[in-house]
Amino acid sequence: MGNVVDEFITRVFDAVRTDHGGAVADYIPELAAVDPDRFGIAVATSDGHVYEVGDTAVPFTIQSISKPFTYALALADRGVDAVAEKIDVEPSGEPFNEISLDPDTERPRNPMINAGAITSASLVAGASPAERFGRIRSLYSRCAGRQLPLDAAVYASEAKTGHRNRAIGYMLRSFGVITDDPDEAVDLYFRQCSIEVTCRDLALMAATLANNGINPRTRDRVLDPALVERVLSVMTTCGMYDAAGEWVTEVGMPAKSGVGGGVLAVLPGQLGIAVYSPRLDRHGNSVRGVRACKELSRDLELHFLRVTRAARSSIRARYSIGSAPSRTRRTDAERAALDEVGNHGRIYELHGDLLFTGAETAVREIDGERAELEAVVVDVRRVDDVSAVARRMIEALRADLARSGCQTALVDPEGLFGHTTSSLTPESPDGRVFADLDAASQWCEEVLLSRHCGIGRQPDSIDLEQHPLSADLTPEQFERFTGELERRTAARGETIARRGDRAPGIFLILSGRASTTVTSTDGAIHRITTLAAGMTFGEMPTLLDSTLLNDVHADSTVTLALLPRESLLRLTADAPEIKSALLERLAMAAYGQLEMLLRTFERHGRL
């Protein structure tokens, strides 16, 4: 099953595949014989993951896409200054096979046209033509991550018909740009163009350039970062020949095309793109390849001038709800269930700027774990900005997970995804949105408990006889105890108890939910714990006759029974056995709460 990135790429593939414009290259007989309707798209991320659709395993010859790689090898062998004395780096504005040099410098205008590429080949170090070709093929193979073969038939066809390139070679020799045998340099150029690749190979070669010269799968340091920077710079301005200006404007990535039908594009630091489709436009660029790259750049927001700061988002942390429970007090049965199935609910914390690559990383990881997931929380509180494509990708992932039975929620207090916050409803086909992580964690637990905890759940409401605080009392003690209680009701949003006030007594919750909170100096409200039917609050300040340390708010309509402090004092004097039973129950509840807090601290590495 593909994830949402596969769906994006497939949508582009389907939109472009109906374009039958252009024609295959016919000046090389072997190229004229290929199937003109082959079409594949591959995208390789800078960590080596490859998305692909169509004919990505079909071999074809690399042709002019070889030029930036041989140029890089020449730079590594001879040095930047020595190569610059032979090849300029200015756009030519002419066809790739023009027989011309710059009239002022008398050098090829750049290494991406044939004159510059033949010069690059002549600068590769080696004791013989065979050794030089071996080094060229080795470099290409290291970038692709596998040994690349030579297509002997295409090489023979190029060698037989490549008279124009031989003319360029002799022109270069006559101007002293090439100082050795021009036939050897041209033949080496024919051989490098005849190396066989697939669309997947090209995507990984592009990703190697995107990854500062390190193959993202093999981790092989193929090229020096400074050389990669120079190569990508020349690709940006010259890689698409006399259509380079339009390419930079509409696509915005360093790129190189080849008359074999390939197009290679690089988004530095993020990904490499390869497209294969043999039909060419008048510039010698793949018609579908150019159009697919335009669509991908627009849909995935890949234009390298779109974002003013270099930032990538990644998953900051990921953990199960079992290892980081919410602050909701749970019954023994609920805690046991969450211990058993808590790994089926997970929280993913994202941070930074959420662009395509950051979203892709998150989507890929979450999607890869979907078989184990029943509830997912995506926490974007630490995300600074969200691009439109990242927003679409995360939303598409949430919808896809919902279709497979996994509920999702966002923690998005700033509304980066355009949603308003929602209430604690366990099941929703559209997912939930929360302002704080604990509320989302509580929701995640509720999803799992609704599926895996059939008995022993915390009830929505109870009678006084069912409240744990009175569980160990005899009928006579219970009657005396309840005679001291006052019944109260709080509406949703009402403050039941306020920080700094004298504790009125011990509250027993009979129905509804309430939260204990503290307010920081900046006015932000922080949840400490969520309370439900069968729980208590106000115990310690009542026993110590002190003020409340936190606020208590009603999350829903809450019914309570209050044991006033004066009543507790009367029980102390008149019925100490009742007070003793109450204290034992309160101690048990406090110990359970301490256990939960310790697990939370362990999750955050504070113990």
Quickly list DSSP for 13-56: HHHHTT---SB---SSHHHHTS-TT--EEEEEETTS-EEEEEST
189 classed as catalytic? yes
* Residue matched to tokens 């990881």: 365
Using N-to-C axis directions, what is the helix angle for 129-144 and 182-193, rounded to 10°?
A: 30
* Residue matched to tokens 């009392």: 473
Q: How far is Cα of residue 315 from the mean position of the Cα atoms in its chain?
A: 7
Which candidate in 5, 43, 50, 64 is catalytic? 64
591 classed as catalytic? no
16 classed as catalytic? no
DSSP structure class, residue 371:
G
- Edge-first strand order for the sheet with 262-267 is 50-54, 40-45, 271-276, 262-267, 255-257
Asked whether the beta carbons of 331 and 458 are under 8 A apart, the reply is: yes
34 classed as catalytic? no
Taking phi over 0 as left and psi of -120 to 50 as alpha, with beta for the rest, 505 belongs to: left
Asked whether the beta carbons of 562 and 488 are under 8 A apart, the reply is: yes
Q: Could you tell me which residues come within 8 angstroms of residue 480 by beta carbon, excluding any fewer than 6 positions away?
A: 571, 575, 578
Rounded to whole angstroms, the Cα distance separating 199 from 274 reads 6
Asked whether the beta carbons of 5 and 363 are under 8 A apart, the reply is: yes
Which candidate in 71, 241, 276, 348 is catalytic? 241
- Edge-first strand order for the sheet with 314-320 is 314-320, 345-354, 375-386, 407-411, 432-434
Which candidate in 16, 222, 259, 383 is catalytic? 259
Quickly list DSSP for 264-303: EEEETTTEEEEEE---B-TTS-BHHHHHHHHHHHHHHT--
241 classed as catalytic? yes
Which candidate in 189, 222, 363, 511 is catalytic? 189
Rounded to whole angstroms, the Cα distance separating 300 from 313 reads 15
Asked whether the beta carbons of 115 and 164 are under 8 A apart, the reply is: no
Rounded to whole angstroms, the Cα distance separating 598 from 540 reads 20
Which candidate in 12, 51, 67, 470 is catalytic? 67
Q: What SS3 class is residue 108?
A: coil
* Residue matched to tokens 């994830």: 3
Q: How far is Cα of residue 183 from the mean position of the Cα atoms in its chain?
A: 49
Give ∠ CA 584-586-588 in degrees, rounded to 5.
Answer: 70
Q: Could you tell me which residues come within 8 angstroms of residue 584 by beta carbon, excluding any fewer than 6 positions away?
A: 472
Measuring CA to CA, which residue among 38, 175, 45, 206 is closest to residue 101? 175
Tokens of 120: 């690059």
- Scanning 162-257, the segments in alpha helix (DSSP H) are 163-174, 182-193, 199-210, 225-238, 244-250
Residue 347: CB atoms within 10 A of its CB come to: 23
Provide the annotated active-site residues.
64, 67, 189, 241, 259
